[in-house]
Amino acid sequence: MAKKLLIVESPAKVKTIRGFLGEGFIVAASLGHIRDLPERELSIDLSSFRPHYTVLPGKSEIVKRLKGLVKGAEALYLATDPDREGEAIAWHLVEVLKPRCPVYRVTFNTITEAAVKAALLSPRRIDAALVNAQQARRIVDRLVGYELSPLLWGRFEGEGLSAGRVQTVGLRLVVEREQEIEAFTSEAYWTLDADVEAREGT
């Protein structure tokens, strides 16, 4: 008998949610993102800004297992985290797993029986706006950081240095402010205080 498949991000949630839903559901975990831009390539078509994703290292077995589960599923419920990253993970799961069964997006903020069951009663589609927002953030990070981060590594010691969309803008603000300070020309000025009194008729 076909069962419904529900995918969450964290394996810690699987056993609890399985207890809520009973025999009609299979609950599995993606362990966060299953694919991303390859680490050592730009992986973005600069003419269209289309990203090229690949399955993350170490995630092949998870993908293989999820593909096997979704193949016999009656329906697929994507219960990844209720934020922009979670929405993108749900989209990536659909892109990679290519399910032939109906797909539903569900979200809940607490792991309680009431919250999980209420979410399953109010499924929706994957929010394309949230997915696109996450992709835009990821693409800008890559476009900015891919060229600038190696420059940092060559000039500064220390691990974990990177240049991304936030650091780069922050650095520009600091540089522009420093340039304003250096270009400032001091000038002498005086403050005059005067007590005046108006005469009647003037």
* Burial class of residue 111, CB neighbours in 10 A (0-12, 13-18, 19+): middle
* Confidence check: pLDDT of 104 > 70: yes
Q: Can you give the pLDDT at residue 164?
A: 66
Q: How far is the CA of 118 from the CAs of 14, 101, 125, in angstroms?
A: 17, 21, 16
Note whether 59 and 80 are within 8 A (CB).
no
Least confident stretch, 102-111, 131-140, 164-173: 164-173
Considering only residues 44 and 158, tell me which one the structure prediction assigns the higher pLDDT: 44
| % the chain with pLDDT above 90 | 69
Model confidence, pTM: 0.77
